[in-house]
A and B are shown apart, each in its own frame.
Chain A
Amino acid sequence: MTGFDWKAASQAEAIRRALRQHAADLQHAGDAHAHGADESVRTATHHGHHIEIRTGYRITVDGRPFAISAAVNNGGRVHYHGLPTRDYASTVDLVKDAIDTFPDDFGDSTPLAEPPHGDQTGAQHVRGDHTHGPHEH
């Protein structure tokens, strides 16, 4: 980036100007949790055939919705942005790690009297059976 004045761009007033410029983006920063989709889409081509696999999760902990977006990649690994630098072979292990990492978020382990009806996140879910092979996702 020849000729760009990095020093000028690092001054306090320049940063304030940048923050004002990005204000519309920033006002939702607090709630900008990763929710690009409610299901992962894995695609591959095999002998000319196009494969598409959509995977969604509805997760509850103690009967309460745990509203995260868990993604499965083509390697079959599951991850979510709450614990961004690790992935899992098992979504169960992912949730266990989340409980261990954020104990305050899960509070009392007493389950609800009855499970909630519907999904409070409004997530769309894959209908039909989930068929699990050797690896749980």
Chain B
Amino acid sequence: MTVVRRDVLSATDDLDAFVAGVLRLKDEHLGPTTADFGISGPSVPVSTYDLFVVWHHLAMMRMTPPGQLDRNAAHNGPVFLPWHRLMLLLMELQLQRVLGDDAVALPYWDWSAPDEGATSLLWSAMAIGGSGSPVITGPFRAGQFAVRVASDSTSRLRATDRPLRRALGLNPRAPTLPTSAHVLAALQEDEYDAPNWDSATSGFRNQLEGWNPGLQLHNRVHVWVGGDMGLATSPNDPVFYLNHAAVDRIWESWQTTHGRRYEPPDIAPPELAGHRLSDPLHSILTSGVTTPADMLDVAALYTYDSLP
């Protein structure tokens, strides 16, 4: 069935379901342990929720092509949007499964709305809790929710057992969230992506990802939230999914205006493997192959209550 993703600040039932589903996924263990993944530290079972953390990290560390340090299997390249669309879709399906409800939908956080900031209701104890190292309010507070796998300064994964960390608006590089003007500027970009297809190029993808112009939109939100959202293991903070649902919503809006098109095409050179229209998206949670082409039109699976 087609589910409808709604604004987290108005769809309180959807927020409640999201929180409940996340907590259940943190408590579910399908068998793999940190030792199975070569993660240093005591070997402990990896929760279903944390499988997504491992996956995101692994994809980020997969350079595409090998031999350069920018474009990877999920970021800094054209595949950024379809890869995260797939990741969110799979998370949404997991929430539906553990809650036994096919109508569950990921909410989105419209961080470009007026007055969004550290005093937003999103950060209240009744929603997802607030800032802190550790976070001490809300459903993901210390004692109720733990980070079990985290990246270190050399981008290696380590088993850990610590509370969630946030630092809302405390990074001087991102004291404020992106605005609707930034969103509209990105939506006016007609080109999906452009050579050299990395973090320096022009185009809608790179503008939405937040590299050009620099530290805006998606990237800016990660830095603004700070704490665990600033690391390669950023999905440790459930707000990751609310941010990326907002990003995906902006892409969906762009597609309705500019068409469901994608670049680079399949005829692009081999050094763009992993980013071409029919190349497999990196995945550890699916047995089949999903491509960017498969992610261009997902109306049969979900829609948004509104588009920017």
Report chain A residues within 8 Å CB of B51.
15, 19
Known A-B contacts A73-B200, A101-B230; A85 and B210 likewise in contact (beta carbons under 8 Å):
yes
Residue-wise, chain A 14-39 has the 8 Å CB interface mask toward B (1 for contact) of 11111101110111111111101100
Query: Could you tell me the distance between the alpha carbons of A80 and B232 in the complex, rounded to whole angstroms?
Result: 10
Q: Is the CB of A102 within 8 A of B287?
A: no
Q: Is B212 an interface residue (CB 8 A)?
A: yes
Report chain B residues within 8 Å CB of A137.
none
Report chain B residues within 8 Å CB of A84.
60, 75, 222, 231-232, 234
Q: Is the CB of B69 within 8 A of A71?
A: yes
Residue-wise, chain A 78-108 has the 8 Å CB interface mask toward B (1 for contact) of 0111111111000000000010011001100
Residue-wise, chain B 59-95 has the 8 Å CB interface mask toward A (1 for contact) of 0111101111110100100000000000001100110
Q: Is B236 an interface residue (CB 8 A)?
A: no
A77 to chain B, nearest CB (A): 7
Residue-wise, chain B 267-299 has the 8 Å CB interface mask toward A (1 for contact) of 000000000000000011111101000110000
On chain A, the number of residues with a Cβ less than 8 Å from chain B's Cβ atoms is 57
Report chain A residues within 8 Å CB of B72.
34, 81
Q: Is the CB of A6 within 8 A of B61?
A: no
Query: Could you tell me the distance between the alpha carbons of A136 and B304 in the complex, rounded to whole angstroms?
Result: 44
Q: Is the CB of A81 within 8 A of B60?
A: yes
Known A-B contacts A81-B232, A85-B223; A29 and B214 likewise in contact (beta carbons under 8 Å):
no
Q: Is the CB of B301 within 8 A of A6?
A: yes
Q: Is B128 an interface residue (CB 8 A)?
A: no
Contact among A1, A17, A43, A68 with B154 in the assembled complex (CB-CB below 8 Å): A68
The main secondary structure of chain A at its interface with chain B is: loop
Q: Is A110 an interface residue (CB 8 A)?
A: no
Query: Could you tell me the distance between the alpha carbons of A96 and B251 in the complex, rounded to whole angstroms?
Result: 34
A56 to chain B, nearest CB (A): 10
> In the complex, which residues 40-84 of chain A have their Cβ closer than 8 Å to any Cβ of chain B?
40-41, 43, 66-71, 73-75, 77, 79-84
B: contact size bracket: 35 or more
Report chain A residues within 8 Å CB of B199.
73, 75, 77, 79, 87
Stretch of B7-15, B36-44, B107-115 that contacts chain A? B36-44
Q: List 21 A-B contacts (CB under 8 A).
A: A12-B28, A12-B97, A18-B283, A18-B284, A22-B283, A27-B36, A29-B57, A30-B157, A32-B61, A34-B72, A36-B66, A73-B70, A73-B198, A77-B211, A80-B155, A82-B153, A82-B232, A83-B231, A84-B75, A84-B222, A87-B215
14 additional A-B residue pairs with CB within 8 Å, beyond A16-B31, A34-B61: A6-B89, A9-B93, A9-B288, A17-B287, A19-B285, A30-B37, A31-B157, A33-B61, A34-B69, A36-B69, A66-B154, A71-B68, A84-B60, A84-B232
Q: Give residues in A with beta carbon < 8 Å to B.
A: 1-2, 4, 6-7, 9-12, 14-19, 21-23, 25-34, 36-37, 40-41, 43, 66-71, 73-75, 77, 79-87, 98, 101-102, 105-106
Q: Give residues in B with beta carbon < 8 Å to A.
A: 28, 30-32, 34, 36-40, 48, 51, 54, 57-58, 60-63, 65-70, 72, 75, 89-90, 93-94, 96-97, 102, 151-158, 173, 196, 198-200, 210-212, 214-215, 218-219, 222-223, 230-232, 234, 283-288, 290, 294-295, 300-301
